[in-house]
Amino acid sequence: MGSSANSVIRQIKRFFLGAPLDSQSEKEERLNIPVGLAVFASDALSSSAYATDEILIALVGMISVTASTSMTEVSIDASNLYLCFPVALAIASLLGIVIFSYRQIIQAYPDGGGAYIVAKDNLGPACSLLAAASLLFDYILTVAVSVSAGVAAIMATFHARTFDQEVLEERSAVALSVAAIIALVLMNLRGIKENGRIVAIPAYVFIASMLALIFTGVFRSSVFAHPPPLTFHGVQIGVQHMAVGLMFLKAFAHGCAALTGIEAVSNGVKAFKEPSAQTANRTMVVMGGLLATIFIGLTYLAMVYQIVPVEGDTVVSQIARTILSGQDIFYYVVQWATMIILILAANTSFGGFPRLAMILASDGYMPRQMINLGDRLVYSNGIVLLGTLAAVFVVAFHANVHALMPMYAIGVFLSFTLAQLGMVVRSLRKPVAASDSTEARPAVDIKKVVANGLGAFATGSVCLLLCIEKFMAGAWLVLICLPLIIWFFCCISKHYRTSQRLLALAPGTYHPVKVEHTVLVLVAALNKSVLPALGYATSISKRVEAVHVELNPAATAQLKQDWEAWGSGIELVVLKSPHRSLSSTLLKYIDAVEARYDHDVVTIVIPEFISKKWWHHLLHNQSAITIKTMLLFRPGKVVTTVRYHLKE
């Protein structure tokens, strides 16, 4: 492909991604707390938009609103609603423990890596690979779930079912979700700082709208001591009568979806401004505070206003409609901010996945291409890989959030558990110096051991509950995918270790060995592009043959006639091909030449002419690519191309 093609590609690339950045700009691209919060906390903050729904579904079930003309009012058993606020407080307490643990991780491992590095350092390679597989899988699902949920919310807003075309709607959802993923990939390829500026505005609009909604709701509930409960028309489904303790545990496990995404900061410490660890820790605290405030506030309002889950509507939507009655503009601000943050929640994965993939590649568990920084100082290969895998899940599950959700969150809680267990082991292995200066022996930090141990027990229990409860709904796929990902890691590691061993130089002095080789110049027709190839061949070897595979007898006859004048005395070998097969006939002859001369190497020279226009390249036979491909895995063969550039 000519220089014009490269120029066109560069222009397209610059249009979408911007001009390349030099390596010295890397520190300038790092994030401060406000921008870092938008990049790495969108997933965690967005989870507050549906975590309360999960708690209420576990406590009171789901209401299915019917279109019956009788509109019979059904009394809702809201006696369990009082449990939602204690559950939210328990989850917030666990959030505090996990934040405490990850602040320690950031301080102890300022180069990033989160649960993977902690497990690798304290629990061994098996646990570290399990943590890495869990996180990578969860990052992929975060993108698929968040984008699908955001698209579903947008389509619901525009009443996509008006024409009752469910198949068309499903295809539209898939197409829009894939388009959103492509947009996120392009946005992240532009660079982390520029990406942060893009996502900051909708992220902070969401935060402001949620805080305003909570403040307004609390104020109204204090003024009107007993706000009227909402009533629903329809059929109640899924309400289960169970012991309060079991119901509390179930609601707790479901509501822990609020914790997804908080580990991303620890994986991307190096993305923050210096001092990176300190900036990341402060971002973690701000994120935890905002998440706890929004989550507890929404759950409190749901309890006070007696909001219950309704099919086709969200708890946030009901709260906003109840509190902001008559204020349509503010209601739609809340709704649109929620929809956008759900889609942008996927952006957190684009910050965490490539950096974790880079660390794994540095350790030999992922392709080494994941280490390379792109033009915009981001790990471009990791971004593209994440987008591709997420799009595969979206297409495979038809952008159906309910089909994807059972697999979601299990991986992240597994990584939480391993990270906190690792910190317990670290605290026991590396105790701090005793406070009493007269006592030489070190002392174990009991506070850290207890906090991390309690957190590991709680997150491990949640992970187990999610696996059991959602197993038949799709969680079984997680239990299959994680071992496959670990097997993938091990295969890559084995290949790199084997390659390193086989490529290692033995001790001693190396002397170049003279190579005897035969050169075969492939000739389809005699023209100006062939002559430089013949000249090159005679310059590197005394044994040169021109080889022509006969596919057209008339063309072969013309070639023989021309060869007498232009062949430079080089022997022309014509290979008969009764089945018009270029590759198999050529391969047989190459093997015969190799056996005949017993040379070390057979060099195949391919003449090729290059047009000035890039698209002209598509109009010519691509046999050179076919020949190079079929000889790729054959030892003792060297393939070289001698190009002749057309001057128009």
Domain ranges of the chain: 31-432+445-496, 517-645
Residues 4/614, Cβ–Cβ less than 8 Å = yes
Query: What amino acid is encoded at 63 in this protein?
Result: I
pLDDT at 307 over 70: yes
pLDDT at 464 over 60: yes
Pairing of strands 517-522, 544-550: parallel
Band (324; pLDDT cuts 50, 70, 90): confident
pLDDT at 71 over 50: no
Q: Quick one: pLDDT at residue 507?
A: 76
Question: Is 65 or 266 the better-scoring residue by pLDDT?
Answer: 266
Cross-strand bridge partners of residue 462: none
Band (582; pLDDT cuts 50, 70, 90): confident
Band (68; pLDDT cuts 50, 70, 90): very low
Fold match flag (31-432+445-496 vs 517-645): no
Residues 387/143, Cβ–Cβ less than 8 Å = yes
Give 187-217 pLDDT, tens digit per residue: 888 776 666 677 788 888 999 999 999 999 8
Say how far apart CA 372 and CA 131 lie, in whole Å.
23
pLDDT at 297 over 90: yes
131-145, 188-202, 314-328, 443-457 — most confident range:
131-145
Say how far apart CA 388 and CA 558 lie, in whole Å.
50
pLDDT at 146 over 90: no
Looking at 184-304, which runs of residues are DSSP E strands?
234-237
Band (294; pLDDT cuts 50, 70, 90): very high
Residue 387 has, within 13 A of its CA and on its CB side, a CA count of 22
Q: Quick one: pLDDT at residue 624?
A: 77
Token pair listed for 172: 């539209």
Give 498-527 pLDDT, tens digit per residue: 988 888 877 776 777 777 788 999 998 888
Q: Quick one: pLDDT at residue 178?
A: 92
Question: Element (H or E) spanning 216, and its range?
Answer: helix 192-223
pLDDT at 147 over 70: yes
Residue 307 DSSP label: -
Say how far apart CA 268 and CA 261 lie, in whole Å.
12
Q: What share of the chain is helix, strand, coil (3-state, %, to 5)?
A: 65, 10, 25
Q: Is the pTM of this model over 0.75?
A: yes
Band (243; pLDDT cuts 50, 70, 90): low
Q: What is the mean pLDDT of residues 412-420?
A: 89
Percent of the chain with pLDDT strictly greater than 70: 79
Q: Quick one: pLDDT at residue 18?
A: 56
Mean pLDDT of the chain, nearest integer: 80
25-34, 240-249, 528-537 — most confident range:
528-537
The CATH-assigned architecture of domain 517-645 is 3-Layer(aba) Sandwich (3.40)
Give 392-409 pLDDT, tens digit per residue: 999 998 888 777 877 877
Q: What is the mean pLDDT of residues 27-32?
A: 70
Question: Is 346 or 641 the better-scoring residue by pLDDT?
Answer: 641
Q: Quick one: pLDDT at residue 379?
A: 87
Question: Is 300 or 609 the better-scoring residue by pLDDT?
Answer: 300
Question: Is 593 or 196 the better-scoring residue by pLDDT?
Answer: 593
Instruction: Tell me if the bond preceding 532 is cis, omega within 30° of 0.
Output: no
pLDDT at 438 over 80: no
Q: Quick one: pLDDT at residue 27?
A: 61
DSSP three-state, residue 312: coil
Say how far apart CA 473 and CA 464 lie, in whole Å.
15
The CATH-assigned architecture of domain 31-432+445-496 is Up-down Bundle (1.20)
439-443, 523-527, 573-577: least confident range:
439-443
Q: What is the mean pLDDT of residues 568-596?
A: 83
Please state, as a whole number, how many other Cβ atoms lie within 10 Å of the Cβ of residue 27.
10
pLDDT at 72 over 50: no
pLDDT at 482 over 90: yes
Alpha helices in 433-543 (DSSP H): 446-469, 476-503, 530-540
Question: Is 353 or 326 the better-scoring residue by pLDDT?
Answer: 353
Looking at 510-568, which runs of residues are DSSP E strands?
517-522, 544-550
Question: Is 104 or 438 the better-scoring residue by pLDDT?
Answer: 104
| CA nearest to 16, candidates 268, 201, 194, 197 | 194
Question: Element (H or E) spanning 94, and its range?
Answer: helix 84-108
Q: What is the mean pLDDT of residues 436-448?
A: 64
pLDDT at 115 over 90: no
Q: What is the mean pLDDT of residues 375-389?
A: 87
Band (235; pLDDT cuts 50, 70, 90): very low
Give 534-553 pLDDT, tens digit per residue: 999 999 888 899 999 888 88
Q: Quick one: pLDDT at residue 621?
A: 62
